[in-house]
Amino acid sequence: MGLLISVLVTFLVVILILYLINLLPIDGRAKQIVRIIVVIIGVLSLLRYIAVF
C-alpha cells in the first residue's frame, strides 16, 4: 500500500510541476527543455520506487 501511495504522490508532483512550468513567462524552447528534464526525473523516481534501480 505504501508503494502505491508513493507512486501516486510522485505522479501528482510531476503533474503539478509541469503545470507550474506552463505558467512561467519563458519562451517555448526553454519550457520544452524543462518539461523533458522534469519528466525524466519523474520517470527515474518512479523506477526507483518500483525497485528497478
Kindly report, residue by residue over 6-53, the tens digit of the pLDDT.
889 999 999 999 999 999 898 989 999 999 999 999 999 888 888 765
User: Using CA atoms, how far apart are residues 18 and 9, in angstroms rounded to an integer?
Assistant: 14
Q: Can you read off the three cell numbers belonging to residue 28?
A: 517555448
pLDDT of residue 15: 96
User: Using CA atoms, how far apart are residues 27 and 11, in angstroms rounded to an integer?
Assistant: 25
pTM above 0.85, yes or no: no
Instruction: Write down the residue that cell numbers 520506487 correspond to.
Output: 49
In the chain, where the domains are located: 2-49
Distance of CA 35 to the CA centre of its chain: 8
pLDDT of residue 34: 93
User: Using CA atoms, how far apart are residues 22 and 48, in angstroms rounded to an integer?
Assistant: 27
pLDDT of residue 7: 87
